[in-house]
Amino acid sequence: MATTRAEPEVIYEGIPASPGIAMAPVHVTARGFSAPEVYAIDESEIGREQDRFQQAIEITKRQLIELQSRLEDLSGATASSIFETHVMMIEDRAVVQRVLGTIADRLQNAECAFYAVMQNFLEAMRRIPDPYLRERTADIEDVAQRVLRNFSADSDARHTGPDDQHILVAYDLAPSDTALMNRRHVLGFATEQGSLNSHTAILARAFGVPAVVGLEGAVIDVMALAPAILDGYTGKLILHPAPDTLARYQQLAEAKARIRSSLEAVRGAATETVDGRPLMLSANIEIIDELPLVKRSGAKGIGLYRTEFLLLNGEEMPDEKRQVEIYSKLTCEMAPHTVIIRTLDAGGDKLPVEPLTDIEPNPFLGWRGIRVSLARPAMFREQIRAILRASSAGQVAVMFPMISGLSEVWRCKEMVRRCMDELEKEGVPFDRDLPVGIMIEVPAAALCADLLAPEVDFFSIGTNDLIQYTLAVDRVNPYVADLYRPTHPSVIRLIKRTIDAAIDHGIWTGVCGEMAADIRLTPLLIGLGVEELSVGPQKVPDVGQAIRSLSYAECAAMADEALRHNRSQGIFDLSLALARKHYGELLD
Mean pLDDT by 10 residues, the chain (588 residues): 65 90 87 73 92 90 75 49 65 85 91 85 66 58 80 48 79 68 86 74 79 83 87 93 94 84 76 96 88 88 92 74 95 96 79 54 77 94 97 97 97 98 97 97 97 98 95 82 93 98 98 94 98 92 94 98 97 98 88
Number of C-beta neighbours around residue 137 at 10 A: 19
Where are the domains positioned within the chain? Answer: 36-149, 266-586
**List 86, 512, 555, 582, catalytic entry:** 512
- Range list of β-strands (E), 356-507: 396-400, 436-440, 458-461
Number of C-beta neighbours around residue 569 at 10 A: 11
Q: Which residues of 25-52 are buried (b: 16+ CB within 10 A; e: fewer)?
A: bbbbbbebbebbbbbbbeeebbeebbeb
Instruction: Indicate if 112 belongs to the active site.
Output: no
Query: What's the CA dihedral at 192, 198, 204, 205 to 10 degrees?
Result: 130
Q: In whole angstroms, give the CA distance from residue 533 to residue 524.
A: 12
Q: In whole angstroms, give the CA distance from residue 584 to residue 582.
A: 6
User: What's the pLDDT score for residue 91?
Assistant: 77
DSSP 8-state code for residue 194: -
Cβ within 8 Å of residue 459, ≥6 positions away = 437, 438, 440, 449, 452, 453, 498, 499, 502, 507, 508, 509, 510
**Sign of the torsion formed by the C-alpha atoms of 40, 42, 45 and 46:** positive
CB 195 within 8 A of CB 524: no
Q: Which amino acid is at 511?
A: V
**List 27, 199, 488, 582, catalytic entry:** 199
Instruction: Indicate if 419 belongs to the active site.
Output: no
Q: Which residues of 544-557 are buried (b: 16+ CB within 10 A; e: fewer)?
A: bbbbbbbbbebbbe
Q: Which amino acid is at 568?
A: S
H helix or E strand, kind and range, residue 508: strand 508-511
Q: In whole angstroms, give the CA distance from residue 571 to residue 239.
A: 37
User: What's the pLDDT score for residue 518?
Assistant: 95
Partner residues linked to 461 by β-bridges: 440, 511
Q: What superfamily does domain 36-149 belong to in CATH?
A: PtsI, HPr-binding domain (1.10.274.10)
Cα separation of the two ends of the chain: 41
User: What's the pLDDT score for residue 512?
Assistant: 94
User: What's the pLDDT score for residue 79?
Assistant: 42
Query: Would residue 20 be called left, alpha or beta, if left means φ above 0 and alpha means ψ between -120 and 50 degrees?
Result: left
User: What's the pLDDT score for residue 500?
Assistant: 98
The highest-level CATH class for domain 266-586 is: alpha beta
User: What's the pLDDT score for residue 315?
Assistant: 57
DSSP 8-state code for residue 213: E
pTM of the model: 0.68
**Sign of the torsion formed by the C-alpha atoms of 157, 163, 166 and 171:** positive
CB 383 within 8 A of CB 349: no
User: What's the pLDDT score for residue 160?
Assistant: 42
Q: In whole angstroms, give the CA distance from residue 212 to residue 15.
A: 6
Tell me the three state secondary structure of residue 239: strand
**Sign of the torsion formed by the C-alpha atoms of 480, 486, 488 and 490:** positive
Q: Which amino acid is at 291?
A: L
Name the residue among 467, 465, 461 with its Cα closest to residue 500: 461
User: What's the pLDDT score for residue 363?
Assistant: 66
Tell me the three state secondary structure of residue 49: helix
Q: How far lies 399's CA from each of 342, 343, 481, 512, in Å?
A: 5, 6, 29, 12
Q: In whole angstroms, give the CA distance from residue 489 to residue 574.
A: 13
